Amino acid sequence: MPSSGLSFWLKGGAFSGDFTPSGAPAFEQSGQGVSLGAELSFPELLGDDRLHLGVLASYGSSTGSQTNGVSFDIEGWSLGAYAAYLSENDTPTPYDGLHLEAAAFVSLLDLSLSAESPAQSASYDATSWSATLAGGYGIEVAPGLILEPKGRLTYSRLQQDDFTDSLGVAVSLDDGESLEGVLALRLQKHWNLHGLGEAAPYVEASVTRQFLGANSIRADGVGFESNSEGTRYAVALGLDSAVGPDVSIYGSVELTWGDAVDQSVQAFAGLRLAF
């Protein structure tokens, strides 16, 4: 993050995976999205520590198909706000010390479903709210080498409209809830490129536990339930870099597997400009 002033950032990403929720058809899904944000930094508000406040807007879309022949498309916009605290430290690397983050988001989604046998289709809207608390502490275990334990807790709620499909089947969707906890360990090496900028590649391993993943659907009065609770594992390779004092480039590739996820790969890249 920049040390002071105003910055703008742009991030794009994509994912693809195979998913196996309990009590529901397995499906494959892929998608992409882009986020644009603005951030203010306050380096002197908390003594030598730093406070960052930001807002963002995102657009994303995804498509998928279930093993029962149903295909789906999802498209939506999100708005969010976040705050981050970074403690001052006595080392030259910018990735050690305590950092805390909090964020909140709202998303407006358009969903459509289709099937070929029998031929039917439907579309409906949904709204998602989510809140995240995260933190970590980087420890310089060798010059320029940072070991950082991290944690994150995210709660989200999805409210979905009822709808009637093209065959006249009335479908009622209960609100969905998710409570996800993540524990991670990152090992990152920082290099000062002596006037050209900085480079800090990293490897990260994480464990995610989904505590609330049950959902229910009623079609013409008949109830169905699915469940995505369980434990997932992930490994990621990434890079944080700076080109001079005002331009940052970053990215990551992550592989996930575990309960309700056969495998999923996601990648993102971003650019930050400070003023």
Question: pLDDT, tens digit, for every residue of 235-262?
Answer: 999 999 999 888 999 999 999 999 989 9
Q: What angle do CA 105, 106, 111 make, to 5 degrees?
A: 130
CB-based burial label for 148 (10 Å; 0-12, 13-18, 19+): buried
Question: pLDDT, tens digit, for every residue of 255-265?
Answer: 999 998 999 99
The pLDDT assigned to 189 comes to 96
The pLDDT assigned to 227 comes to 63
Which segment, 50-59, 166-175, 186-195, is predicted with the most confidence on average? 50-59
Give the alpha-carbon dihedral of 216, 219, 223, 224, to 10 degrees. Answer: -50
* pLDDT band at residue 223 under the 50/70/90 scheme: very low
The pLDDT assigned to 63 comes to 95
Closest alpha carbon to 34 in 274, 271, 273: 271
The pLDDT assigned to 268 comes to 97
Contact yes or no for 12/256 (Cβ under 8 A) = no
Tell me the three state secondary structure of residue 157.
strand
**Signed CA dihedral, 66, 107, 184, 144: sign only:** positive
Residue 13 has pLDDT above 70, yes or no: yes
Closest alpha carbon to 171 in 128, 214, 108, 216: 216
CB-based burial label for 52 (10 Å; 0-12, 13-18, 19+): buried
Question: pLDDT, tens digit, for every residue of 159-189?
Answer: 888 877 777 777 777 778 889 999 999 999 9
The pLDDT assigned to 161 comes to 83
